[in-house]
Structure 1
């Protein structure tokens, strides 16, 4: 068994890490950087669904909890 030494070892490890990076890019990194395609698919899939009808227990549809109501004193 031949052992890699010096620059060949570095090239082997670099190539291995690069191969893993190239494999993970379309699976993990690309969807996070540009999610417009997935938003379009989601919008198309939920086109005929009325969220108000399927909300369980007559609960209101999710709203932003940090969107504070304005009081009269403000």
Structure 2
């Protein structure tokens, strides 16, 4: 398993099970956040990282993939 991680391979089923929401993020959900960031409603948001990952970051699953970022 570690060798596959080193090659950059990801197992979507593992990510789904380990995410805080128990599912993967949908492309539309990412698009919704991008749309909000482009809208006047987000005009006070600057220099922020907004994870749209269904809770994968919160689950610390990213440790398997070499850390965040």
TM-score by length of 2: 0.23
Structure number with the higher helix fraction is: 1
Structure showing greater relative contact order (alpha-carbon pairs closer than 8 Å, 6 or more residues apart): 2
* Greater Rg over alpha carbons, structure: 1
